[in-house]
Amino acid sequence: MDETEQHRERVEAEPERSGEDNAAAYWRANLRLVGILLAIWFAVSFGAGILLRDWLDRVHIGGYPLGFWFAQQGSIYVFLILIAVYVRQMRRIERRFDVDD
């Protein structure tokens, strides 16, 4: 079963919503996703880079302590990964609420 058929089955299985209910549910799903991704980014950048730095500094990557690495590089890499996750998840959300292009 390809992706288009799966989408069609999901749309047919979901109860009919009014336009306002659909828009509100869409934005709830969008805000929930953004909140989760921001919490992950905060945990990685603040938690690993600042709060857990002393513990992480026991491990070295390329001659640098891991806590320093997370503060300088890791949070940027995690941010880029979270952007890719956001794009992928928003495509799913948009298909689910039938607002995709």
List pLDDT tens digits, range 44-92: 888 877 888 888 889 888 888 888 887 888 888 999 999 999 999 999 9
pLDDT(2) > 70: no
- Domain count for the chain, please give it: 1
pLDDT of residue 5: 64
Q: Which of 1, 2, 7 is nearest to 91 (CA)?
A: 7
4-33 per-position pLDDT tens digit: 666 556 555 555 567 788 889 999 999 999
pLDDT of residue 84: 98
Residue 74 lies in a domain: yes
Distance CA 8, CA 51 (A): 46
Domain that holds residue 38: 32-101
CA dihedral 56, 60, 65, 66 (to 10 degrees): -50
Residue 85 lies in a domain: yes
Residue 8 lies in a domain: no
pLDDT of residue 8: 58
pTM of the model: 0.70
Residue 72 lies in a domain: yes
Residue 13 lies in a domain: no
